[in-house]
Chain A
Amino acid sequence: MSDTVIQVENLGKKYIIGHQKPENYTALRDVIAHGVKSLGQKLLQPLGKKTADPAFEEFWALKDVSFEIKQGDRVGIIGRNGAGKSTLLKILSRITEPSCGRISIRGRVASLLEVGTGFHPELTGRENIYLNGAILGMSKVEIKRQFDEIVAFAEVEKFLDTPVKRYSSGMYVRLAFAVAAHLEPEILIVDEVLAVGDAQFQKKCLGKMEDVSKGGRTVLFVSHQMSAVTRLCEKCLLLDRGNLKLDGDVYAVTNKYLQSDLGTSAERSWSDPKTAPGNDIVRLKAVRVVSNGSITDTIDISHPATIEIEYWNYASDSQLICGLAFLNEQGVILFVSNDFSRQTKSLGIYKSMCAIPDNLLAEGQVKVLVQICNAQHLDEIYILEHDVIAFQVVDTKRLETLAEKWGGHIPGLIRPQLNWQSLLLQRL
């Protein structure tokens, strides 16, 4: 018996996109109008050639995708937005039908494309656990057996009989994830759902996912967070515009992906001062990370980088303090840095730069928080933006040369290169 649990052959999914209608559903009136129009055309030019309707265009969300997944594999699926990751998951979980190709699956599949699907705001936490469990494919007996565990995991014991519409958004997400985390299928398909809740809970979720995947289950996991993918998965598929670009070892694939130009989180800018974060004293214009002379969301651990902050300064003679906080993916602040130069600024657009030395950050995702406050009154905070930009710190040298020799994770929140010296004290 082969141990292949999912086999995908030449899978394709085609969507017809209309260029005239913004809605994705059709109104009967349009169908009738269209029918009459084409009938008229047929009558007028019965021998005329058939022209392609310019209002509709075929769009292949997935094309010629083939791969195989073995029993117990933990496979990450990466690619930028619109690469077809979600479409692939939707087809695998039978939500939508492929246009061509063939998939064969052995084993019970549960898919988690969203946390809290089917949660009803009017129902209580207890009722929603049962409902959501049933929607995700658990039987009533299974839910009952795991009920206490789910409640404990979500930390909502006190509010079990409160309608979830009165929950805080954190509680809501915790409860939703807790139900999903206790699914016990043979094949688990997970879309980017870990990016929910506060940092501590995210960590807990990731840990739970790790447990699940180490239990010998087959897991398919879509994420934008490379570190989550490398942590959970051993194999990886890279999709790009509907095509399967790479299929192989997770380090090799993520590394290739990071080196390509697929990043998008390296720069945020606001063109309109009216909608930019801030107030009538100062407004944020752009934040970006620059390394090796270009904007990039991937920084090599051995290269320095610069964070640039651009802002509109609307107050004359103002003294501002720009500050940055660097957080890892668990939301732990790695360090903060402030510009205490107290330079007096007149009206205008300014750019402040903060240089990060090489060999400081550890591998993984780094999120940047930007704060601008009044230098005279430090508690007057004009701008406080979380997660403005994010970038990946990678150690390409280690990935290329050391990974085979030592694939382990180097612990620590930062990884500065410190000076070492060895002295010979006494000859023996």
Chain B
Amino acid sequence: MAKPNSPELIIEAGRTERQYWQDLWRYRELFYFLAWRDILVRYKQTIIGIAWALIRPLLTMLVFTIVFGNLAKLPSEGAPYPIMVFAGMLPWQFFANALAECSNSLISNSNLISKVYFPRLIIPASAVIVSFVDFMISGIILLGLMAWYNFIPTWRIITLPFFIAIAFAASMGAGLWLASLNVKYRDFRYIVPFIVQFGLYISPVGFSSTIVPEKWRLLYSLNPVVGVIDGFRWAILGGESKIYFPGFLLSLTLVGLILGTGIWYFRKTEKTFADVI
């Protein structure tokens, strides 16, 4: 019952399909379903279920506050130290989780990839969405902390979605690179946990980036997460918190570059996934 004007699909070697983005839109429901599946499965057969999404960041925050705030007595950008730490930890945890989930997503869905067609971009994207849900849940802790310390954010809080978008782009970009490399070179299975662990030390999560000497700030901003975390702190803490603009722009450019090349590389290798996975 093909409609007389049903579109013709051409399959050829090396053809960049023009319908790709259109297909992505057509398969949006699959995207919801995959994200929904991962969220649903995540906390099945756990006793405290979704509370895991709260406990992990809460405990990490406590440790950082005690080590960096109380013992090392580092500055806190004019806000209570726990709030300062948490404002940085939110995007970091999002980035780290998304990166880990994303880079493994293709491998763990290999049965789908080798048996069904859909734009492969859906899989890493839905992995990022799942981490985003965790991110939203741990956002509740931030609200709780604010209430506890009677901390009222300034108007800057309305710019937060912009920084969330940057965090999204950063994790998606890096995630796409790692996901597609992981399909071919399983070495990346070992590299990703290392990146995540290492990144925690070189990113201003437990401390404020203001303690980095001025002359090193630009170099420090080569880590794109620095820009994201600074942005989050600027938007949430208000008041004394400042953004180091050259560094922020550098981070922003890098994020754009990573996302752009990530999508490019993913699209380039995607057609061979089914053969090598």
Closest A residue to B14 by CB, please name it.
A97
Chain B CB within 8 A of A410 CB: no
In the docked arrangement, what's the CA distance between A94 and B41, Å?
A: 29
Q: Nearest Cβ in chain B — how far from A6, in angstroms?
A: 10
- Comparing B77-85, B150-158, B169-177, B182-190, the segment that makes contact with chain A is B182-190
The verdict on A52 contacting chain B, using a C-beta distance below 8 Å, is: no
Tell whether A207 is near chain B: CB-to-CB under 8 Å.
no
Identify the closest chain B residue to A130 (Cβ). Answer: B33
Cross-chain contact A106 with B2 (CB below 8 angstroms): yes
With contact pairs A26-B185, A95-B117 given, residues A120 and B11 touching in the complex (Cβ less than 8 Å): no
Instruction: Compute how far the CA of A104 lies from the CA of B15 in the bound complex, rounded to whole angstroms.
Output: 13
A107 to B187, CA, bound (A): 41
Cα A69 to Cα B13 in complex, Å, equals 21
Would you call B29 an interface residue if the criterion is a C-beta within 8 Å of the partner chain's C-beta atoms? yes
B240 at the interface (CB under 8 A from A): no
Q: Once the chains are docked, how many angstroms separate the CA of A401 from the CA of B62?
A: 87
Whose C-beta in chain B lies nearest to the C-beta of A102?
Answer: B12
Query: A25-B183, A118-B112 in contact; A1/B4 too (CB < 8 A)?
Result: yes
Cβ-based interface call for A136 (8 A): yes
| A21-32 vs B, Cβ < 8 Å mask (1 yes, 0 no) | 000111111010
Is B9 an interface position by the 8 A CB rule? yes
Whether A375 sits at the interface, judged by CB under 8 Å, is no
Contact B6 A106 (CB under 8 A): yes
Given A106-B9, A217-B1, A25:B186 Cβ within 8 A: yes
> Which residues of chain A are near B274, meaning CB under 8 Å?
90, 95-96
Contact with A along B12-42 (1 / 0, CB 8 A): 1110000000000001011011101100110
Tell me whether A216 and B1 are in contact in the complex, defined as CB-CB below 8 angstroms, given that A114-B115, A117-B112 are known contacts.
Answer: yes
CA distance A102 to B44 in the complex (A): 46
Q: How far is the CA of A109 from the CA of B23 in the complex (A)?
A: 13
When A103-B10, A107-B6, A139-B29 are in contact, do A28 and B185 touch as well, CB less than 8 Å?
yes
Contact call B13/A111, Cβ cutoff below 8 A: no
Contact status A104-B6, CB under 8 Å: no
Chain A hits for B13, CB < 8 A: 97-101
A103 is contacted by which of B12, B117, B184 (Cβ under 8 Å)? B12
Contact residues in A for B243 (Cβ distance below 8 Å): none
Q: Which of B9, B12, B34, B185 contacts A25 (CB 8 A)?
A: B185
Restricting to B113-150, which residues have a CB under 8 Å from any CB of A? 113-118
Interface bits B100-118 vs A (CB < 8 Å: 1, else 0): 0000000001011111111
Looking at the complex, which one of B6, B116, B184 makes contact with A26 (CB distance below 8 Å)?
Answer: B184
Q: How long is the Cα–Cα vector from A118 to B112 in the complex, in angstroms?
A: 6
Q: Closest Cβ of chain B: how far from A215's Cβ, in Å?
A: 8
- Interface core residue of A96, A104, A130 (most chain B CB under 10 Å): A96
Count how many chain B residues have C-beta atoms less than 8 Å from C-beta atoms of the other chain.
46
From residue 68 to 113 of chain A, which have CB atoms closer than 8 A to chain B? Answer: 71, 90-109, 111, 113
Check: B45 CB closer than 8 A to any chain A CB.
yes
Instruction: Write the chain B residue with the least CB distance to A135.
Output: B116
Interface pair A97/B11, CB less than 8 Å apart = yes
Shortest beta-carbon distance from A418 to chain B in Å:
47
Known: A91-B11, A101-B12. A25 touches B184 (CB 8 A): yes
User: Quick check: A93 and B117 within 8 Å, CB to CB?
Assistant: yes
Whether, in the assembled complex, B71 has its beta carbon less than 8 Å from a beta carbon of chain A, the answer is no
A123 within 8 A of B: yes
Is B6 within 8 A of A108, CB to CB? yes
**CB-nearest residue of chain A relative to B42?**
A122
Q: Beyond A118-B111, A122-B44, A131-B33, is A105–B8 a contact (Cβ under 8 Å)?
A: yes
In the complex, which residues of chain A have a beta carbon less than 8 angstroms from the beta carbon of B186? 25, 27
Residues in A neighbouring B116, C-beta threshold 8 A: 93, 95, 111, 113, 117-118, 135-136
Contacts of B56 in A (CB 8 A): none
Give the residues in chain A near B183, CB-CB below 8 Å. 25
Q: Return chain A residues, CB-CB under 8 Å to B117.
A: 93-95, 111
Asked whether A120 lies within 8 Å of B6 as measured between CB atoms, the reply is no
Cα A31 to Cα B2 in complex, Å, equals 47
Within 8 A of B (CB), among A158-211: 163, 186-187
Q: Which of A92, A95, A102, A217 contacts B115 (CB 8 A)?
A: A95
Least CB distance, A257 to chain B, in whole angstroms: 26
Residue of A nearest to B113 (CB): A95
Assembled-state Cα–Cα distance A421/B30 (Å): 67
Cα of A230 to Cα of B172 in the assembled complex, Å: 50
What's the least CB distance linking A392 to chain B, in Å? 29
Q: From B9, which residue of chain A is reached at the shortest CB distance?
A: A105
CA–CA, A25 to B8, complex, Å?
Answer: 34
Which residues of A sit under 8 angstroms from B188, Cβ to Cβ? 28
Complex-state Cα separation, A302 to B117, whole angstroms: 47
Which A residues touch B218, using CB under 8 A?
Answer: none
Complex-state Cα separation, A97 to B17, whole angstroms: 11
Which residues of B approach A to under 8 Å, CB–CB?
1-4, 6-14, 27, 29-30, 32-34, 36-37, 40-41, 44-45, 109, 111-118, 183-188, 271-272, 274-277
A-B contact list, 17 entries, CB within 8 Å: A5-B2, A25-B185, A27-B187, A29-B187, A94-B117, A95-B113, A95-B116, A95-B117, A95-B274, A96-B271, A97-B11, A97-B14, A105-B10, A106-B2, A135-B33, A135-B116, A140-B29
In the A-B complex, the 10 residue pairs with the smallest Cβ-Cβ separation, listed nearest first, are: A107-B2, A134-B33, A94-B117, A103-B11, A28-B187, A97-B271, A28-B185, A96-B274, A105-B9, A117-B115
Supplied contacts A28-B188, A136-B116, 9 more A-B pairs, CB within 8 Å = A15-B275, A90-B274, A96-B274, A96-B275, A100-B13, A104-B8, A117-B112, A123-B40, A186-B6
